[in-house]
Structure 1
Amino acid sequence: MKSLLTAAALFFACLTGFAAEPSLTLAREGNFLVIRGAQIPGGEIRINYLEAYCRAGSTDADWGKHTVVKHTSELVSLSDDARVMKLRDTLEDGVTVDHTITAGPDEVDFHLVAHNPGSTRSEAHWAQPCVRLSKFLGMDEKTAGNADDYLPKCFLFIDGKLTHLPTPQWATQARYVPGQVWCPANVPRTDVNPRPLNPLVPSNGLVGCFSSDDKVVYATAWEPYQELFQGVARCLHADFRLGGLQPGETKNIRGKIYLVPNDVDALLARYKKDFPEQVH
Protein backbone atom coordinates (compact mmCIF):
# COMPACT_ATOMS: atom_id res chain seq x y z
CA MET A 1 0.00 0.00 0.00
CA LYS A 2 2.84 2.42 0.87
CA SER A 3 4.51 1.90 -2.51
CA LEU A 4 1.18 2.52 -4.26
CA LEU A 5 0.69 5.77 -2.36
CA THR A 6 4.24 6.88 -3.18
CA ALA A 7 3.75 6.11 -6.86
CA ALA A 8 0.44 7.98 -6.85
CA ALA A 9 2.05 10.99 -5.19
CA LEU A 10 4.84 11.08 -7.77
CA PHE A 11 2.32 10.77 -10.60
CA PHE A 12 0.26 13.63 -9.17
CA ALA A 13 3.38 15.75 -8.76
CA CYS A 14 4.31 15.24 -12.40
CA LEU A 15 0.79 16.13 -13.55
CA THR A 16 0.69 19.31 -11.48
CA GLY A 17 4.24 20.41 -12.32
CA PHE A 18 5.58 20.14 -8.77
CA ALA A 19 8.02 17.29 -9.33
CA ALA A 20 11.33 18.06 -7.69
CA GLU A 21 14.09 18.87 -10.18
CA PRO A 22 17.69 17.92 -9.44
CA SER A 23 19.54 21.05 -8.47
CA LEU A 24 23.07 22.24 -8.79
CA THR A 25 24.82 22.47 -5.43
CA LEU A 26 27.32 24.86 -3.88
CA ALA A 27 30.45 24.42 -1.79
CA ARG A 28 33.14 26.73 -0.40
CA GLU A 29 36.76 25.51 -0.59
CA GLY A 30 39.26 28.14 0.47
CA ASN A 31 38.54 31.16 -1.71
CA PHE A 32 36.80 29.01 -4.33
CA LEU A 33 33.07 28.77 -4.93
CA VAL A 34 32.42 25.29 -6.34
CA ILE A 35 29.31 24.54 -8.39
CA ARG A 36 28.55 20.84 -8.75
CA GLY A 37 25.97 18.89 -10.69
CA ALA A 38 25.57 15.74 -12.76
CA GLN A 39 24.65 17.91 -15.75
CA ILE A 40 28.00 19.76 -15.69
CA PRO A 41 30.67 18.27 -17.98
CA GLY A 42 33.55 17.42 -15.65
CA GLY A 43 31.17 17.43 -12.68
CA GLU A 44 31.99 20.89 -11.33
CA ILE A 45 32.97 24.47 -12.07
CA ARG A 46 35.36 26.28 -9.74
CA ILE A 47 35.35 30.05 -9.30
CA ASN A 48 37.96 32.16 -7.57
CA TYR A 49 35.23 34.12 -5.81
CA LEU A 50 36.13 36.83 -5.59
CA GLU A 51 39.57 37.06 -7.10
CA ALA A 52 39.89 40.79 -6.46
CA TYR A 53 38.17 44.09 -5.75
CA CYS A 54 39.76 46.79 -7.90
CA ARG A 55 40.29 50.55 -8.12
CA ALA A 56 39.61 52.75 -11.15
CA GLY A 57 42.51 53.79 -13.38
CA SER A 58 43.46 50.14 -13.67
CA THR A 59 44.03 49.66 -17.42
CA ASP A 60 47.67 50.75 -17.31
CA ALA A 61 48.49 50.43 -13.61
CA ASP A 62 50.42 48.02 -11.43
CA TRP A 63 48.01 45.27 -10.34
CA GLY A 64 49.41 44.79 -6.83
CA LYS A 65 50.59 48.30 -5.96
CA HIS A 66 47.60 50.23 -7.32
CA THR A 67 44.62 48.20 -8.43
CA VAL A 68 43.79 45.55 -5.85
CA VAL A 69 41.77 46.54 -2.78
CA LYS A 70 42.52 43.89 -0.17
CA HIS A 71 39.61 42.01 1.36
CA THR A 72 38.71 39.05 3.55
CA SER A 73 35.87 36.62 2.89
CA GLU A 74 33.71 34.81 5.46
CA LEU A 75 31.32 31.93 4.87
CA VAL A 76 28.23 33.03 6.80
CA SER A 77 26.00 30.03 6.07
CA LEU A 78 25.26 27.16 3.69
CA SER A 79 21.82 25.57 3.63
CA ASP A 80 21.44 21.88 4.44
CA ASP A 81 20.66 21.10 0.80
CA ALA A 82 23.76 23.07 -0.33
CA ARG A 83 21.63 25.29 -2.55
CA VAL A 84 21.86 28.64 -0.73
CA MET A 85 25.18 30.12 0.37
CA LYS A 86 25.77 33.41 2.15
CA LEU A 87 29.18 35.10 2.22
CA ARG A 88 30.42 38.38 3.62
CA ASP A 89 33.43 40.19 2.20
CA THR A 90 35.06 42.97 4.20
CA LEU A 91 37.31 45.32 2.27
CA GLU A 92 40.32 47.02 3.83
CA ASP A 93 38.49 50.36 3.74
CA GLY A 94 35.58 48.95 5.76
CA VAL A 95 33.10 48.32 2.91
CA THR A 96 31.09 45.14 3.37
CA VAL A 97 29.65 43.07 0.53
CA ASP A 98 27.01 40.48 1.46
CA HIS A 99 26.50 37.72 -1.10
CA THR A 100 23.43 35.51 -1.38
CA ILE A 101 24.15 32.74 -3.89
CA THR A 102 21.33 30.41 -4.89
CA ALA A 103 21.65 27.27 -7.02
CA GLY A 104 18.80 26.07 -9.23
CA PRO A 105 18.38 23.22 -11.71
CA ASP A 106 20.42 24.93 -14.45
CA GLU A 107 21.61 28.28 -13.07
CA VAL A 108 23.25 29.97 -10.13
CA ASP A 109 21.85 33.34 -9.03
CA PHE A 110 23.95 36.00 -7.29
CA HIS A 111 22.54 38.89 -5.24
CA LEU A 112 25.10 41.22 -3.68
CA VAL A 113 24.60 44.13 -1.31
CA ALA A 114 27.60 46.44 -0.97
CA HIS A 115 27.58 48.98 1.88
CA ASN A 116 30.00 51.66 2.98
CA PRO A 117 29.60 52.27 6.73
CA GLY A 118 32.55 54.65 6.87
CA SER A 119 32.96 58.41 6.61
CA THR A 120 35.08 58.50 3.43
CA ARG A 121 34.39 57.40 -0.15
CA SER A 122 35.47 53.88 -1.02
CA GLU A 123 37.77 53.43 -4.02
CA ALA A 124 36.40 49.94 -4.76
CA HIS A 125 35.30 50.41 -8.36
CA TRP A 126 34.87 46.90 -9.82
CA ALA A 127 35.42 43.25 -8.95
CA GLN A 128 36.14 39.98 -10.68
CA PRO A 129 34.85 36.45 -10.18
CA CYS A 130 37.37 34.23 -12.02
CA VAL A 131 35.56 31.19 -13.49
CA ARG A 132 37.91 28.29 -14.29
CA LEU A 133 36.72 26.16 -17.21
CA SER A 134 39.31 23.40 -17.73
CA LYS A 135 37.14 20.62 -16.29
CA PHE A 136 34.07 21.84 -18.16
CA LEU A 137 36.08 21.64 -21.39
CA GLY A 138 37.62 18.24 -20.61
CA MET A 139 41.11 19.71 -20.25
CA ASP A 140 43.83 19.23 -17.65
CA GLU A 141 43.83 22.07 -15.12
CA LYS A 142 47.59 21.65 -14.73
CA THR A 143 48.08 23.01 -18.25
CA ALA A 144 45.79 26.04 -17.82
CA GLY A 145 48.47 28.72 -17.36
CA ASN A 146 48.51 31.07 -20.38
CA ALA A 147 46.58 28.48 -22.41
CA ASP A 148 44.76 29.57 -25.57
CA ASP A 149 43.60 26.11 -26.69
CA TYR A 150 40.10 26.76 -25.33
CA LEU A 151 39.48 30.00 -27.21
CA PRO A 152 37.51 28.47 -30.15
CA LYS A 153 34.96 27.16 -27.65
CA CYS A 154 34.42 30.62 -26.12
CA PHE A 155 32.06 33.33 -27.33
CA LEU A 156 30.62 36.76 -26.76
CA PHE A 157 28.34 38.93 -28.88
CA ILE A 158 29.66 41.50 -31.37
CA ASP A 159 27.30 43.47 -33.62
CA GLY A 160 24.47 41.39 -32.21
CA LYS A 161 25.97 38.10 -33.37
CA LEU A 162 27.57 35.24 -31.44
CA THR A 163 31.30 35.58 -32.11
CA HIS A 164 33.85 32.90 -31.25
CA LEU A 165 37.28 33.74 -29.88
CA PRO A 166 39.71 34.88 -31.00
CA THR A 167 37.59 37.68 -32.44
CA PRO A 168 38.53 39.10 -35.88
CA GLN A 169 40.44 41.89 -34.15
CA TRP A 170 42.74 40.71 -31.36
CA ALA A 171 44.89 42.96 -29.17
CA THR A 172 48.35 41.82 -28.13
CA GLN A 173 49.89 44.83 -26.33
CA ALA A 174 49.27 45.77 -22.68
CA ARG A 175 50.99 46.09 -19.32
CA TYR A 176 50.37 42.35 -18.80
CA VAL A 177 49.95 39.72 -21.54
CA PRO A 178 48.32 37.50 -22.76
CA GLY A 179 44.53 37.71 -22.28
CA GLN A 180 41.80 39.91 -23.77
CA VAL A 181 39.42 42.56 -22.43
CA TRP A 182 36.20 43.86 -23.99
CA CYS A 183 34.95 47.15 -22.56
CA PRO A 184 31.29 48.22 -22.90
CA ALA A 185 30.54 51.65 -24.33
CA ASN A 186 29.49 53.14 -20.97
CA VAL A 187 32.68 52.23 -19.09
CA PRO A 188 35.89 54.34 -19.34
CA ARG A 189 38.55 52.33 -21.15
CA THR A 190 41.04 53.50 -18.50
CA ASP A 191 39.27 51.49 -15.77
CA VAL A 192 39.49 47.84 -16.87
CA ASN A 193 41.83 44.87 -16.50
CA PRO A 194 45.45 45.65 -17.52
CA ARG A 195 45.43 42.93 -20.20
CA PRO A 196 45.21 43.61 -23.97
CA LEU A 197 42.14 45.76 -24.64
CA ASN A 198 40.15 44.65 -27.67
CA PRO A 199 38.95 47.50 -29.93
CA LEU A 200 35.54 45.85 -30.44
CA VAL A 201 32.65 46.84 -28.16
CA PRO A 202 30.47 43.92 -26.98
CA SER A 203 26.78 44.05 -27.89
CA ASN A 204 25.76 42.81 -24.45
CA GLY A 205 27.15 41.54 -21.15
CA LEU A 206 26.88 37.81 -21.87
CA VAL A 207 30.01 35.68 -22.25
CA GLY A 208 30.38 31.91 -22.30
CA CYS A 209 31.69 28.73 -23.83
CA PHE A 210 30.54 25.39 -25.21
CA SER A 211 31.45 22.04 -23.66
CA SER A 212 33.86 19.75 -25.51
CA ASP A 213 30.94 17.82 -27.07
CA ASP A 214 28.98 21.03 -27.75
CA LYS A 215 25.98 19.74 -25.79
CA VAL A 216 26.15 22.16 -22.85
CA VAL A 217 26.65 25.92 -22.69
CA TYR A 218 28.22 27.76 -19.77
CA ALA A 219 27.42 31.49 -19.78
CA THR A 220 27.50 34.34 -17.28
CA ALA A 221 26.39 37.95 -16.93
CA TRP A 222 26.34 40.63 -14.22
CA GLU A 223 24.55 43.93 -13.74
CA PRO A 224 26.06 46.44 -13.67
CA TYR A 225 29.05 45.05 -15.55
CA GLN A 226 32.49 46.56 -15.98
CA GLU A 227 34.06 44.35 -18.65
CA LEU A 228 34.21 40.96 -20.29
CA PHE A 229 37.56 39.23 -19.95
CA GLN A 230 39.38 36.16 -21.22
CA GLY A 231 42.14 35.35 -18.77
CA VAL A 232 45.19 33.18 -18.32
CA ALA A 233 43.81 30.18 -16.39
CA ARG A 234 41.31 28.94 -19.01
CA CYS A 235 38.95 31.42 -17.40
CA LEU A 236 36.20 33.72 -18.57
CA HIS A 237 34.95 36.76 -16.66
CA ALA A 238 31.96 39.03 -16.67
CA ASP A 239 33.33 41.42 -14.08
CA PHE A 240 30.88 43.60 -12.17
CA ARG A 241 30.99 47.29 -11.32
CA LEU A 242 30.72 48.96 -7.92
CA GLY A 243 31.63 52.47 -9.06
CA GLY A 244 32.92 53.49 -5.63
CA LEU A 245 30.64 53.97 -2.64
CA GLN A 246 30.00 57.25 -0.86
CA PRO A 247 29.81 57.29 2.96
CA GLY A 248 26.66 55.47 4.03
CA GLU A 249 25.85 54.37 0.48
CA THR A 250 24.45 50.92 -0.37
CA LYS A 251 24.42 49.34 -3.83
CA ASN A 252 22.87 46.17 -5.20
CA ILE A 253 24.55 43.98 -7.80
CA ARG A 254 23.20 40.83 -9.37
CA GLY A 255 24.56 38.07 -11.56
CA LYS A 256 23.79 34.73 -13.17
CA ILE A 257 25.63 31.65 -14.26
CA TYR A 258 23.75 29.52 -16.79
CA LEU A 259 24.50 25.83 -17.42
CA VAL A 260 22.03 24.92 -20.12
CA PRO A 261 21.60 22.76 -23.24
CA ASN A 262 23.14 24.14 -26.41
CA ASP A 263 20.30 26.33 -27.65
CA VAL A 264 21.69 29.84 -28.14
CA ASP A 265 18.31 31.40 -28.99
CA ALA A 266 16.82 30.05 -25.76
CA LEU A 267 19.85 31.26 -23.78
CA LEU A 268 19.56 34.74 -25.28
CA ALA A 269 15.84 34.92 -24.52
CA ARG A 270 16.52 33.99 -20.92
CA TYR A 271 19.39 36.45 -20.61
CA LYS A 272 17.27 39.30 -22.02
CA LYS A 273 14.54 38.53 -19.50
CA ASP A 274 17.02 38.44 -16.59
CA PHE A 275 19.00 41.53 -17.69
CA PRO A 276 16.64 43.90 -19.53
CA GLU A 277 19.00 46.82 -18.78
CA GLN A 278 21.61 45.27 -21.10
CA VAL A 279 19.30 44.79 -24.08
CA HIS A 280 19.72 47.48 -26.73
Structure 2
Amino acid sequence: MSPGVTPVITLLTDYGLEDGFVAACHGVIAGIAPEARIIDVGHLVPAGDVRRGAAILAQTIPYLPRGVHIAVVDPSVGSSTRRAVAIEAGGRVFVGPDNGVLSWAVHAVGGATAAYELTNEDVWLKPVSRTFHGRDIFCPVAAHVVAGREVAGLGTAIPPRELVTLPEPTSRLRDGACEGEVLSVDRHGNVQLSITAADLGFLGVRDGDTLAVWLGRRQLAVPYRDTFAAVPPGDLVAFTDSAGLVAVAVNAGDAAQRLGLPPGAHVRLSPART
Protein backbone atom coordinates (compact mmCIF):
# COMPACT_ATOMS: atom_id res chain seq x y z
CA MET A 1 0.00 0.00 0.00
CA SER A 2 1.23 3.51 -0.78
CA PRO A 3 2.79 5.34 2.18
CA GLY A 4 0.19 7.44 3.98
CA VAL A 5 -2.82 5.63 2.50
CA THR A 6 -5.28 4.92 5.31
CA PRO A 7 -7.56 1.85 5.56
CA VAL A 8 -10.46 3.74 4.03
CA ILE A 9 -12.22 2.88 0.78
CA THR A 10 -14.58 5.37 -0.82
CA LEU A 11 -17.16 4.26 -3.34
CA LEU A 12 -18.90 6.32 -6.03
CA THR A 13 -21.18 4.62 -8.57
CA ASP A 14 -24.27 4.97 -10.73
CA TYR A 15 -25.72 1.73 -9.32
CA GLY A 16 -28.67 3.33 -7.55
CA LEU A 17 -30.11 2.20 -4.22
CA GLU A 18 -33.01 -0.01 -5.28
CA ASP A 19 -31.02 -3.16 -6.01
CA GLY A 20 -28.31 -5.12 -4.24
CA PHE A 21 -25.35 -3.84 -6.27
CA VAL A 22 -23.94 -1.53 -3.60
CA ALA A 23 -24.44 -4.12 -0.86
CA ALA A 24 -22.56 -6.69 -2.95
CA CYS A 25 -19.63 -4.28 -3.30
CA HIS A 26 -19.59 -3.66 0.45
CA GLY A 27 -19.70 -7.39 1.08
CA VAL A 28 -16.76 -8.13 -1.21
CA ILE A 29 -14.63 -5.46 0.48
CA ALA A 30 -15.56 -6.70 3.96
CA GLY A 31 -14.65 -10.25 3.03
CA ILE A 32 -11.12 -9.27 1.97
CA ALA A 33 -10.37 -6.33 4.26
CA PRO A 34 -12.75 -6.44 7.23
CA GLU A 35 -10.82 -3.64 8.94
CA ALA A 36 -11.50 -1.19 6.09
CA ARG A 37 -13.89 1.68 6.62
CA ILE A 38 -16.13 2.30 3.62
CA ILE A 39 -17.39 5.80 2.79
CA ASP A 40 -20.18 5.96 0.23
CA VAL A 41 -19.61 9.11 -1.80
CA GLY A 42 -22.86 8.45 -3.66
CA HIS A 43 -24.64 5.94 -5.87
CA LEU A 44 -27.17 8.13 -7.66
CA VAL A 45 -24.95 9.43 -10.46
CA PRO A 46 -27.19 9.47 -13.55
CA ALA A 47 -26.66 6.19 -15.38
CA GLY A 48 -23.54 6.36 -17.54
CA ASP A 49 -22.92 10.06 -16.87
CA VAL A 50 -19.12 9.98 -16.66
CA ARG A 51 -18.78 13.79 -16.42
CA ARG A 52 -21.18 13.98 -13.50
CA GLY A 53 -19.29 11.23 -11.69
CA ALA A 54 -15.98 12.96 -12.40
CA ALA A 55 -17.30 16.27 -11.06
CA ILE A 56 -18.67 14.71 -7.87
CA LEU A 57 -15.43 12.89 -7.12
CA ALA A 58 -13.24 15.90 -7.87
CA GLN A 59 -15.31 18.19 -5.65
CA THR A 60 -15.40 15.64 -2.82
CA ILE A 61 -11.79 14.41 -2.85
CA PRO A 62 -10.35 17.34 -0.80
CA TYR A 63 -12.49 16.22 2.15
CA LEU A 64 -11.79 12.48 1.97
CA PRO A 65 -8.99 10.61 3.79
CA ARG A 66 -5.96 9.48 1.82
CA GLY A 67 -7.40 6.08 1.11
CA VAL A 68 -8.41 4.08 -1.93
CA HIS A 69 -11.08 5.72 -4.06
CA ILE A 70 -13.30 3.64 -6.35
CA ALA A 71 -15.42 5.32 -9.01
CA VAL A 72 -17.60 3.12 -11.22
CA VAL A 73 -19.54 4.99 -13.88
CA ASP A 74 -18.79 2.60 -16.65
CA PRO A 75 -21.02 2.57 -19.75
CA SER A 76 -18.37 0.56 -21.66
CA VAL A 77 -18.07 -2.17 -19.01
CA GLY A 78 -16.93 -5.48 -20.49
CA SER A 79 -15.77 -4.00 -23.78
CA SER A 80 -12.28 -4.22 -25.19
CA THR A 81 -12.16 -0.44 -25.67
CA ARG A 82 -11.60 0.53 -22.06
CA ARG A 83 -9.06 -0.54 -19.45
CA ALA A 84 -9.49 -1.15 -15.75
CA VAL A 85 -6.86 0.89 -13.90
CA ALA A 86 -5.34 1.83 -10.57
CA ILE A 87 -3.73 5.26 -10.33
CA GLU A 88 -1.42 6.60 -7.64
CA ALA A 89 -1.81 10.34 -7.07
CA GLY A 90 -1.40 12.67 -4.12
CA GLY A 91 -0.76 9.85 -1.65
CA ARG A 92 -4.00 8.19 -2.70
CA VAL A 93 -5.00 5.30 -4.95
CA PHE A 94 -7.80 5.64 -7.48
CA VAL A 95 -9.45 2.55 -8.93
CA GLY A 96 -11.96 2.34 -11.75
CA PRO A 97 -12.46 2.31 -15.51
CA ASP A 98 -10.07 4.29 -17.67
CA ASN A 99 -12.81 6.43 -19.19
CA GLY A 100 -12.07 9.78 -17.54
CA VAL A 101 -14.25 9.38 -14.46
CA LEU A 102 -11.12 9.48 -12.27
CA SER A 103 -9.29 12.17 -14.20
CA TRP A 104 -10.55 15.37 -12.59
CA ALA A 105 -10.01 14.04 -9.06
CA VAL A 106 -6.53 12.82 -9.96
CA HIS A 107 -5.75 16.28 -11.31
CA ALA A 108 -7.20 17.89 -8.16
CA VAL A 109 -4.68 16.09 -5.93
CA GLY A 110 -1.67 16.93 -8.07
CA GLY A 111 -1.75 14.47 -10.96
CA ALA A 112 -0.86 10.82 -11.44
CA THR A 113 2.56 9.62 -10.34
CA ALA A 114 2.00 6.01 -11.48
CA ALA A 115 -0.70 4.02 -13.23
CA TYR A 116 -1.39 0.34 -13.76
CA GLU A 117 -3.75 -1.64 -15.94
CA LEU A 118 -5.49 -4.20 -13.73
CA THR A 119 -4.28 -7.41 -15.31
CA ASN A 120 -3.42 -9.49 -12.22
CA GLU A 121 -6.43 -11.80 -12.05
CA ASP A 122 -5.24 -13.28 -8.74
CA VAL A 123 -6.82 -10.31 -6.95
CA TRP A 124 -10.15 -10.50 -8.79
CA LEU A 125 -13.32 -12.19 -7.62
CA LYS A 126 -14.05 -15.29 -9.69
CA PRO A 127 -15.93 -15.82 -11.89
CA VAL A 128 -15.84 -12.30 -13.34
CA SER A 129 -19.12 -10.97 -14.66
CA ARG A 130 -18.92 -9.11 -17.95
CA THR A 131 -21.23 -6.41 -16.60
CA PHE A 132 -20.32 -6.06 -12.91
CA HIS A 133 -16.65 -5.16 -12.74
CA GLY A 134 -17.35 -3.01 -9.70
CA ARG A 135 -18.04 -6.13 -7.65
CA ASP A 136 -15.61 -8.51 -9.34
CA ILE A 137 -12.56 -6.35 -10.14
CA PHE A 138 -12.58 -2.83 -8.70
CA CYS A 139 -13.75 -3.60 -5.15
CA PRO A 140 -11.51 -6.68 -4.68
CA VAL A 141 -8.51 -4.73 -5.98
CA ALA A 142 -9.20 -1.83 -3.60
CA ALA A 143 -9.65 -4.19 -0.67
CA HIS A 144 -6.38 -5.98 -1.40
CA VAL A 145 -4.56 -2.64 -1.49
CA VAL A 146 -5.98 -1.71 1.91
CA ALA A 147 -5.00 -5.17 3.17
CA GLY A 148 -1.39 -4.54 2.17
CA ARG A 149 -1.00 -5.43 -1.50
CA GLU A 150 1.45 -3.18 -3.32
CA VAL A 151 -0.21 -1.20 -6.10
CA ALA A 152 2.58 -2.18 -8.48
CA GLY A 153 1.49 -5.80 -8.07
CA LEU A 154 -1.98 -5.17 -9.47
CA GLY A 155 -0.99 -5.34 -13.11
CA THR A 156 0.98 -3.77 -15.91
CA ALA A 157 2.48 -0.29 -15.54
CA ILE A 158 1.24 2.24 -18.09
CA PRO A 159 2.47 5.81 -18.67
CA PRO A 160 0.15 8.24 -16.84
CA ARG A 161 0.02 10.38 -19.99
CA GLU A 162 -1.87 7.54 -21.72
CA LEU A 163 -4.77 7.67 -19.25
CA VAL A 164 -8.08 8.91 -20.59
CA THR A 165 -8.67 12.47 -19.42
CA LEU A 166 -11.95 14.34 -19.73
CA PRO A 167 -11.69 17.82 -21.22
CA GLU A 168 -11.68 20.47 -18.52
CA PRO A 169 -14.95 22.39 -18.23
CA THR A 170 -14.89 25.55 -20.31
CA SER A 171 -14.65 28.89 -18.53
CA ARG A 172 -13.23 32.14 -19.84
CA LEU A 173 -13.44 35.89 -19.38
CA ARG A 174 -14.19 37.83 -22.53
CA ASP A 175 -15.64 41.25 -23.34
CA GLY A 176 -16.68 42.00 -19.78
CA ALA A 177 -18.44 38.68 -19.25
CA CYS A 178 -17.79 35.15 -17.99
CA GLU A 179 -18.53 32.33 -20.40
CA GLY A 180 -18.91 28.79 -19.17
CA GLU A 181 -21.06 25.70 -19.23
CA VAL A 182 -23.40 23.74 -17.03
CA LEU A 183 -21.11 21.40 -15.14
CA SER A 184 -23.77 19.43 -13.32
CA VAL A 185 -27.36 19.45 -12.11
CA ASP A 186 -28.07 18.11 -8.62
CA ARG A 187 -31.17 16.26 -7.42
CA HIS A 188 -32.82 19.57 -6.43
CA GLY A 189 -32.46 20.98 -9.95
CA ASN A 190 -29.73 23.43 -8.93
CA VAL A 191 -27.50 24.20 -11.92
CA GLN A 192 -23.78 24.28 -11.18
CA LEU A 193 -21.70 26.25 -13.67
CA SER A 194 -18.03 25.99 -14.55
CA ILE A 195 -17.73 29.71 -13.69
CA THR A 196 -16.08 30.48 -10.35
CA ALA A 197 -16.91 33.14 -7.81
CA ALA A 198 -13.42 34.51 -8.48
CA ASP A 199 -14.39 35.00 -12.13
CA LEU A 200 -17.34 37.14 -11.09
CA GLY A 201 -15.19 38.98 -8.59
CA PHE A 202 -12.81 39.89 -11.41
CA LEU A 203 -15.77 41.54 -13.13
CA GLY A 204 -16.63 43.43 -9.96
CA VAL A 205 -19.73 41.39 -9.10
CA ARG A 206 -20.54 41.16 -5.39
CA ASP A 207 -23.31 39.65 -3.29
CA GLY A 208 -26.39 41.82 -3.67
CA ASP A 209 -25.72 42.64 -7.33
CA THR A 210 -27.78 41.51 -10.30
CA LEU A 211 -26.41 39.32 -13.06
CA ALA A 212 -27.31 39.30 -16.71
CA VAL A 213 -27.60 35.59 -17.52
CA TRP A 214 -27.44 34.74 -21.22
CA LEU A 215 -28.85 31.38 -22.33
CA GLY A 216 -28.39 31.42 -26.06
CA ARG A 217 -30.48 34.38 -27.24
CA ARG A 218 -32.41 34.61 -23.99
CA GLN A 219 -31.31 37.09 -21.35
CA LEU A 220 -32.44 36.98 -17.73
CA ALA A 221 -31.80 39.32 -14.82
CA VAL A 222 -30.94 37.13 -11.82
CA PRO A 223 -30.04 38.37 -8.33
CA TYR A 224 -26.65 37.24 -7.02
CA ARG A 225 -27.04 36.42 -3.34
CA ASP A 226 -25.27 34.42 -0.63
CA THR A 227 -27.88 31.63 -0.61
CA PHE A 228 -30.97 30.52 -2.51
CA ALA A 229 -33.10 31.31 0.55
CA ALA A 230 -32.31 35.02 0.12
CA VAL A 231 -35.09 35.31 -2.48
CA PRO A 232 -38.81 34.48 -2.20
CA PRO A 233 -39.93 30.92 -2.97
CA GLY A 234 -40.26 30.39 -6.71
CA ASP A 235 -37.70 33.06 -7.65
CA LEU A 236 -34.46 32.51 -9.53
CA VAL A 237 -31.19 33.22 -7.77
CA ALA A 238 -27.47 32.85 -8.47
CA PHE A 239 -25.04 32.10 -5.63
CA THR A 240 -21.63 30.61 -4.90
CA ASP A 241 -21.98 26.95 -3.98
CA SER A 242 -19.89 24.85 -1.61
CA ALA A 243 -17.35 24.09 -4.36
CA GLY A 244 -16.72 27.79 -5.03
CA LEU A 245 -18.62 27.65 -8.31
CA VAL A 246 -21.54 29.79 -9.41
CA ALA A 247 -24.88 28.01 -9.33
CA VAL A 248 -28.33 29.02 -10.49
CA ALA A 249 -31.30 27.82 -8.48
CA VAL A 250 -34.97 28.39 -7.85
CA ASN A 251 -35.85 28.74 -4.20
CA ALA A 252 -38.05 25.70 -3.51
CA GLY A 253 -38.04 24.84 -7.22
CA ASP A 254 -36.12 23.28 -10.10
CA ALA A 255 -33.91 25.69 -12.06
CA ALA A 256 -32.73 23.11 -14.59
CA GLN A 257 -36.29 22.28 -15.56
CA ARG A 258 -37.46 25.89 -15.66
CA LEU A 259 -34.56 27.10 -17.76
CA GLY A 260 -34.05 23.98 -19.86
CA LEU A 261 -30.37 23.70 -18.89
CA PRO A 262 -28.82 20.25 -19.28
CA PRO A 263 -25.16 19.52 -18.46
CA GLY A 264 -22.90 21.03 -21.11
CA ALA A 265 -25.23 23.90 -22.00
CA HIS A 266 -23.46 27.20 -22.67
CA VAL A 267 -24.07 30.08 -20.22
CA ARG A 268 -22.75 33.65 -20.21
CA LEU A 269 -22.79 35.89 -17.13
CA SER A 270 -22.13 39.60 -16.87
CA PRO A 271 -22.99 42.42 -14.48
CA ALA A 272 -26.50 43.66 -15.24
CA ARG A 273 -26.61 47.15 -16.68
CA THR A 274 -28.51 49.65 -14.60
TM-score by length of 1: 0.22
Rg larger for: 2
Task: Return the structure number with greater relative CO, CA threshold 8 A, min gap 6.
Answer: 1
Bigger fraction of residues in strand: 1
Higher share of residues assigned helix: 2
